[in-house]
Structure 1
Amino acid sequence: MSNSVNIMAVVEGTTEQFFIRDILAPYLWPKEIFITPVIVTKPGQKGGDVKFSRVKNDIEKYLKQRRDTYLTLFIDYYGIKSDWPGLSEAKLKNNPEEKAEQINQATLGEIEELWPRCRPAMRFIPYIAMHEFEALLFSNSTILAQKLNVQTSCVDSILNECGGPENIDDSPQTAPSKRLESLSPRFKKTTTGIAIAKEIGVPAIRGRCPIFNEWLTKLESLA
């Protein structure tokens, strides 16, 4: 009898899909954890416009599809819309850890209320990335600077200003992706971003991003 764990991951867009498929999944394979990313159903739209009313349909589908699998989310805080559970309360919190905890718990609570028979308390692990996927790329300033062909001090100044990768905020001007684009206009999240993340590696990202690490620790605990 196999003790392997199967996880479906509902993700915001192509970048998150590639990150899980090409970087996170191979990292988890030795632990007998197999994670499969699926992009949230958004006909005619790209990432960055994520409504809970749409995402919950996918959550329901995958919770009901196979009762022997687990389900997680990989959604950027920067992209979620006002209908997301816990968002208004999260905006009142003072740090990213509290924001993420507020939204993740509210999301789980909403799903438990909607589909209790699917056992979401045991099978569903939401993850709202603070403040978006690109924040993870700041986990190693040397590698990031080399890949963008800029001075390491340019990256370090952003980290010193904000206090860490997951503290880089979510305004339209200073979100992680906007800061990367300002450092290098050639930055493309689905190519450059994935290449940078792969070179940095999951262990280094875990070491600098406690919210990401907490999520990954929960996934590992399923095995």
Structure 2
Amino acid sequence: MSDYMEVVAIVEGRTEQIFVERVLSPYLGNKNIFITAAQISKPGQKGGDVKFSRAERDIGRFLKQRPDIYVTHFFDYYGLKEWPALDTILNQSHTEIAQLLNNAAFAYIIQNYGDYQAQNRFIPYMAMHEFEALLFSDEIILADALGVDVGQIKAIITACEEPEKINNSRETAPSKRLNQLKLSGTFKKTTEGISIAEQIGVEKMRQRCPLFNEWLNQLESKLG
């Protein structure tokens, strides 16, 4: 078994790409896991509009290109419109939804790319409900960055119980809450969001976000 591994993460957009490159990559690099990010492909542009038909093409392409790398994805459940088993979601918990979508994607990729050791090399990850939920992992850092009272952040966490449970709607999704909390202008996730993520750090996110932590556990387990 190799003492290091390489991972390609297919991501939704620019913010997730920067997060992987600037926050996750140094953290995992210290564990000899070298991760790079590629935005989901689309003719004429990059990022956004996540559909499994597009994700599947990219996952398959990376599995075929190099037999020595692992492939994962980092997409938001919020706004997802096309995904295996998506139409079977009713009133499940956020954990059950993530597991359902990850398992369905895994089964599809195994069925279609089994000849490329997909069962061992593909690790799906659906973020609940979106990237911005991770920024609620440290109330003090987030409140300070937004210039608001920390009690406002704590009230959201108390109501939702944990960052990954901050709910999925046009008014209350994590990104919407950040826009509402900011006193002026809109919250810029590619700059402000990444800066906050760097201040919080991956370890604190892992402590507060079980699904995110499980994703990294799966990646780390591949190294042995």
User: Which band: TM-score by shorter chain?
Assistant: over 0.9
TM-score if structure 1 supplies the norm length?
0.95
Q: Is the 8 A contact 2:40 2:46 kept in 1?
A: no
Q: 1:99 aligns with which of 93, 97, 100?
A: 97
Q: Percent identity?
A: 52
Instruction: Count the aligned residue pairs.
Output: 221
Give the Cα separation in 2 of the matches to 1:196 and 1:179.
15
1:79 to 2:79 alignment: yes
Q: Which runs of 5+ in 2 are unaligned?
A: none
1:118 to 2:102 alignment: no
Residue 145 (structure 1) shift: 0.4
Give the Cα separation in 2 of the matches to 1:2 and 1:97.
32
Q: Is the 8 A contact 1:180 1:187 kept in 2?
A: yes
Q: 1:155 aligns with which of 153, 156, 160?
A: 153
Q: Is the 8 A contact 1:47 1:79 kept in 2?
A: no
Output the amino acid matched with 2:200: I
In structure 1, the partner of 2:49 is 49
In structure 1, the partner of 2:4 is 4
CA 46–189 in structure 1, closer or farther in 2 if over 3 Å, else same: farther
Task: Write out aligned runs for 1:117-196 (5 A).
Answer: 117-184=115-182, 185-196=185-196
1:88 to 2:87 alignment: yes
Q: Secondary structure at the match of 1:115?
A: helix
Q: Is the 8 A contact 1:136 1:209 kept in 2?
A: yes
Output the amino acid matched with 1:5: M
In structure 1, the partner of 2:198 is 198
Q: Which runs of 5+ in 1 are unaligned?
A: none
In structure 1, the partner of 2:68 is 68
Give the Cα separation in 1 of the matches to 2:169 and 2:151.
22
What CA RMSD, in Å, does the superposition of the two structures yield over aligned residues?
1.4
Give the Cα separation in 2 of the matches to 1:48 and 1:62.
19
- Consecutive aligned runs of 4 or more in structure 1 exceeding 6 Å deviation: none
Deviations 1:30-67 (A, max 9, x none): 21110010000023556442111111110111010001
Q: Is the 8 A contact 1:11 1:74 kept in 2?
A: yes
CA 123–131 in structure 1, closer or farther in 2 if over 3 Å, else same: same
Indicate the larger mover: 139-148 or 155-164. 155-164
Task: Write out aligned runs for 1:12-51 (5 A).
Answer: 12-44=12-44, 47-51=47-51
